[in-house]
Structures are given as C-alpha cells and as structure tokens.
Amino acid sequence: MTVLKRGPLAAVVITAALLPLAACSSEEAPPPTPAGPVFRLALPFDQYQWTPQEKQTREQARYRLVGQCVRDQGIDFTMPEPKPVVEAADFYDNSRRYGVLDEGLVASFGYHLPTTDEGKERGKKNNKWNGEVPKDQERAIYGTGEDDPGCYGKADAELAKDVPASDTEWLGDRNEQSLNETEEAEAVVRAKAAWKDCVAREGHSYDVPRSASGDPKWKLELPEIGDEERKVALADVRCKHSTGLVTAWQEAETAWQKRLIESEPERFRRLQAAKDATLAAARRIAS
C-alpha cells in the first residue's frame, strides 16, 4: 500500500484514497465499478470499533489540527486533504472478514481490493506529494523524535484530551481471537467441507477459502485482474453463501462476542466511552 511519508500516523491521514490500484486484464473490458459492497456482515464488536465514516471524520479533524500547527510555525502546509471518497464509506468493513463475500465486487475485482477512479487519482497526488514535500514541512508534520512529536503527535494529544482510558489493543486482539477460534466450531468446519465440494463442482480445486484467495497466480501485488481470477472468486463467494458457511461462521462469532461482552461489561463500557468522546471531539474540530 502506498502511504505518505514517515510512519503509521501519516499513513492513516488519507487512508481512504490509498487502496492498491486495480485494473482489468487486456483481454476484456471490466464490468462497471460497483458503488460498494451490497453484502453486510454485522457482529457485536462493531459497536465498539470505528466505522469507515467515523474514521474519515477523525482523519479530517487530525488533518485540520496538523495544518494549523504547521502554519503556526510559518511553514506552508501542502499535504493533500482527505476526502470522503467511495472507499471511505463502503469498502473497509466486515465484507471481507471470511475472505471475499460480496458477489458484485468480485465480479469486477476478483480477489483484488476494490478501488475507484477517484481513489486512483488521489493515490497519484499522494505519491507526488511524498516525493516533493519540503524538508521543513516534513519535520514540522512528523517531528524528529520522542522529544519532538511533530504536529501529528500534537494533534493526537489534542484529540485524546479528556478521553477516558480504554484498551483498544485488547479489543483488537479479541477481535482476531473471535475469528480464529470460531473457525474451528463444528458448524463452520462442516460448512467449509461443503464449500470445498461446491467449488470442486465448479471446476476448482481448493481445500479451504483462504487457499483460493491466496493462490499466488492471482498476483495480487500487481494491478491486472484476469478473467480466471474473477471466475474463481465468484464461485468462492457463491459457495460460501449457498453452503451456509457465512451464516454458520457469523452465528458462531456472534455468540462468542456476546459472551465476552457480557463477561467484561466495565471494559466494554470504557471502550464505548472513549470512542464516543474522541468522536465528539473530532466532529467539533472537523465541522
């Protein structure tokens, strides 16, 4: 993934615009680009995590704080502004939690991450900025070390002011644990076996869904998307739904996550409070 300079803080400023470029093969014109996934996968943890729209609000607030901080030092601020493009609203959600799940998207993009013409254009602008940003502006934005956190560090401190403590890293770990442990649930294992038989009837030999999506012949690091990739991805998605794999896994995760929320009420209360406070601050700054 192409990112702005100097580390993870910079990378998320305009995340929505920085998806890998995807294009069709030269054999055939691609289907029209979908506006976003039709399929939605809801889980109990969703309430405590940031939606793409909320992330966009937070990054707009950070951008404004960073820009003002840089200008206060008498330095021009030229970083591209984050814009609410299609990817920000739709493309990063649970719709790929069990691999590809949306038939409309894979018909266009196969196993590649989706993008739009707007996203591609913004990616080009970001790359250009990366190569041309003046050194004084770069130092002001990112700082020079622990004693100088730069304008990003100051912006994050401002957004965190008066926000109650919470353990978001713990939630991320539990989110991954939920996925991994429920994959071994009896109903999910049965459904994966049925998925294997289903894709075999379509002429494809894969033991589990990740073997299909991770097939090295798709060359996901490159922009080209071939007809075979789309065909396999469509069979993958259709079989996940027709065999009940998605339903079985979602039900297993829903039960797992609900049990944890009920067993850790105070921890989840703090997570909710911290998210609400940060989002309220971001909305005030971004408005």
Q: How far is Cα 60 from Cα 57, in angstroms, rounded to an integer?
A: 5
Pair of tokens at residue 265: 């009420």
Q: So what's the pLDDT on residue 25?
A: 36
Residue 94 has pLDDT above 90, yes or no: no
Q: Is the pLDDT of residue 153 over 80?
A: yes
| Position with higher pLDDT, 123 vs 252 | 252
Terminal-to-terminal C-alpha distance of the chain = 29
Asked whether the predicted pLDDT for residue 128 surpasses 60, the reply is yes
Maximum separation of any 2 CA atoms in the chain, in Å: 66
Task: Give CA–CA dist 15/263, Å, rounded.
Answer: 34
- pTM score, two decimals? 0.80
Give residue limits of the domains in the chain: 7-99+107-286
